[in-house]
Every structure is written in structure tokens, then in C-alpha cells.
Structure 1
Amino acid sequence: MTSTAVIPLTVSTGNLESYIHSVNQFPLLTQEEEQALAERLHRHNDVEAARQLVLSHLRVVVSIARSYAGYGLQQADLIQEGNIGLMKAVKRFDPSRGVRLFSFAVHWIKAEIHEFILKNWRLVRVATTKSQRKLFFNLRSMKSGFSALNEREAQDIAEQLGVKASDVMEMDTRLSGQDISLEPTEADDDNAQQAPIAYLADTRNEPTARLEQQAIAHLHGEGLIAALDTLDARSRHIVESRWLSDDSGATLHELAAEYGVSAERIRQIEQKALQKMRQQLIALVD
């Protein structure tokens, strides 16, 4: 691998297949190669070592992003968000812990994708608490089939996740995307280790998971306040009214009437404000 190669982190929706083909060309690292590169990065802040670690794991991001195809968002966007999580994982990876980078990076990749989905999938306004978020991201894999849940099935899932059965039924009606196979298909034989079944173990008490939870908690607390402080008064009011209110949140048309502009203009202001906040949150993590 030459030092002049560029890390393909920008994903074009129209060129997605080409991107996936490109990242699959980068060879997987052996444990010894990964350990040597990680030590170079950890001890000497070697940028070339970091680049090689990222390149060799871009296919992992693609595999994980595919498992979130049912949420109605562009695959290119999900992959791009996952790539951000991968870079954060590489930066924080400590080779002395004796785990492979793949196992460590999965938490950061999924956390970044989760945050992106929750910020952009407007139908899931109920996913505001920890238990509801857990329901949002686990309901598909817990269903026994494609049909709607009956009351008995909803109650069983509610007991396992610690939520109300009514919340399970409501979420089930919202999640109308395709179900994701837990097992790798024949077409995915080469990436069997990256199939969802490979990383769905309960890792809540692992040190890496705790670090992830602490980082997310910080972003939701002090980080969110700092991000809001970067906005002008109108943008902040729109974001707070849409996403941070105690009730269901204001609609674009309600805010458009309040400011005397079109709903599309409110949407543009909202998207620009959310992007600015996102950049602030990334800066805080880095």
C-alpha cells in the first residue's frame, strides 16, 4: 500500500457500488500487522499507520451500515457516518488491551450511525429515552417474522427491553422497512465475520462499551448545550422547538407561520443549524 493512496471517506450516492468495490480491494490485516500498526500510532502518532488501519476496516463500516437499510436513509450517508465512528475508534484504540480493532471499532461505528438515524428519521420522535432507543434499534431482530406483532409477542419483547407493551406496538407500526438477516447470505460469504450475528452479543459491561456510553452521555449533556450556544437565536429556537420540546415538537408549518416564511425555509435553517451543531459535537469528541 503506497503512502500516496487517499482514504475514500466521502461516499457519493450515485457511485455507491463503485465505492464499495473500492474499499473491498484493501486487504485485511493479520493480527500481527494490526498490532504493529497500532503500536506505531499509539507510541509515535504515526499518521500513515492510522491510514492503513482505517483503510483495512472500511469494509466493516459498509457491512454494518447495510444492517440499517430499513430506516429509510441513504446508504451513502450511513456509511459516511460510520466512517467517522471508525476514525474515532482508530484514534482511541489501545493495542495493549489485547483485542482486535474490529471488536473495538464496532461500538464507535454503530454509535455514530445510531446518532445520525435518530437525528434524521423524523418518524421516531418516541425514541427519546434510553429504553426507547434500545427498543428502536432492537425490535427488528427480536421479531419472529415479517408480520405485525400480536399482543402476546409485544408483551414478551416489552418485558425483555423494559418498556411498555404499547410502546412496542407503536414502534412496530413505525418500522416499515425491510428486515435484516442475522445470518450471512451466500452473497456475503466473504464478509461472514461482519454479519450482524457476529456482533450482537451483550457487551454492555465491556470497558469499551462503558467508554462509549460515557462519551454519548457527555454529548447529550454538556456537549448539546455547547452546540446550541453556537447557534443564532432564531436557529436555536427552531431546533429546540422541533427536537427538544417536552411535547411532540413544533411542525415546520407552525414555525413558518411564527416567522412569516415558508416551511421550506424553516427546513433549510433547521438543517444548517443541525449540521453546525454536529460539527461542534465532533470537535468536542476529538
Structure 2
Amino acid sequence: MAKRAPGLGAVQETMLITLHARARCGDEAAARLVEAIDYDFAPMQRNAGATELFHVLRCAALDEWTRQFLAECPHGTVVELGAGLSTRADRLDNGTAHWCYVDLPDATELRRALLPDGERRRTITGSVLEDGWADAVAADPGPYLFLAEGVLVYLEPAGVRRALTTVATRFPGCRVALDTHGEWIVKRSRGPLTRMAADLVWACEDPKALQDWDLGLTLRESWPLSRPDWVVRRALPRHTRLTLAAVNAFVPRRMTNSRVNLYSVDATG
């Protein structure tokens, strides 16, 4: 079968960084997708470093929160905003949950070609900066878990607020998992991102600040990627745990202020 050219815009292209990192770290579904795409992944392999590790740790954190959600709400819906080529459902689907993948037109075209929709899996074309996707998502049953993995950091602060306003207004009582990055990190792109046209934009030093946006957000959990939650940490190879210990011992905190965060939204809307 001929490989497919991705044909992605600047920000959408960054999904390939996450995909490649997962493939390199044992995600078989991601590895098959890398093989199916006509793209030069070699620079990512040469310039991965800590970036690759943190992508995988972020994915593992959101996986764990998804497992917890599905254990409590087995018939609920997991919504991935800026879904890219996420293969989370391949890892975690329980046979009853619904999965919605929201992304821009070029990204959803690629996803549908490589990861066709199924009975409980739907790809929805839409921008997180608008609210047109919300009606399509609401057609699937609640409760809802929203995942914004490596997405919001590419938006202006007003865009982040707009995206979260749609989620909180249309889906009261939901949960929202997202990553945040301190200003030092946002201003100093590194690794594979240096070869792409996209820029990191939204800096957030303290994820508690989102509670002050009057959206009904409550921070339930938050931890730095360099200091994973024990459930995630115990599953890491010993050499990875040693690498993180060295990072925490010798690298200034401002240089590792990338966090994963889980919020709940007030059920009263």
C-alpha cells in the first residue's frame, strides 16, 4: 500500500512529534501509522532527547486519567480536542465507551484515511476556537472526559479561554485534562519543534490560575512531567526513573515546568 503524505498545516504537523514518540516507546498502533505516512521522521529521531520522554509521560498521564474515568463511567464519552492521530482508544477502549476526535479539516482528513471511524468512534471536523463541534459531541452520551493533549499551548491566552468556555458551558459536570508549560519553556522551543513552523504561545506558570477564569473549573490533580504520579512512575523502566531523578536534581525548576492537569467542571453550568 502506498504511503500517504500528511498534508498538514503548521500546528497540525506537530501531531507527528507525539506520534513518533509513542511509536519509539512501544506503541504498536503508532508504529504502524508512522510506517503508513510519507514523511521524514529521521530528524525527530536525531533530536528527540527529553522532548520524546516528556511526550510519552504526558500521554501516560492522560491514559491513567482516562482509565479512571472509564472505570467510573464505562458508558461515557472521551473527547479528544486536537486529536491528531491519537490511538488512545486502541489501548484503553472498554467495549462500551464512546470516543470523539475533534480536529481541523486537514487533520481529520488524515485521521479518517488512516484510522477510520467505527461504531463508537467518530471524527468531528471543527476548531477548538469555535463551538460548532459541541453539538456533534453532545449526540454521544455523557458523562464526558475532555482531553487536550499538546493543543492549547499553541493558542493565544484568549483562545485557550474560548476553548475552555465552550467545554464548560456546553458540558457542565465534565472533566478536562490538559497540559501547561511555563514561560521559560514556551519561549525556548527545542527538539523536533525547531524544524517546524509552529510556535509555542500560551505560557501558564500555575494551573490553579484557570480556577479564576469564572468557568467553574476546579483543579483535581496536577504534577510536573518530570515528577510523575506514582501510578505512572511505577510503570516506567528503571533507566527512565533514573533519568528523571537526574533531571529533578540538576535542572532548574523553571526549565521543567511542564505539567499535566485534571480539572472538574461545576455541574450547575
TM-score, normalisation: structure 1: 0.25
The structure carrying a bigger helix percent of its residues is 1
The structure carrying a bigger strand percent of its residues is 2
TM-score, normalisation: structure 2: 0.26
Larger Cα-atom Rg: 1
Q: Which has the higher contact order (CA 8 A, sep 6+)?
A: 2
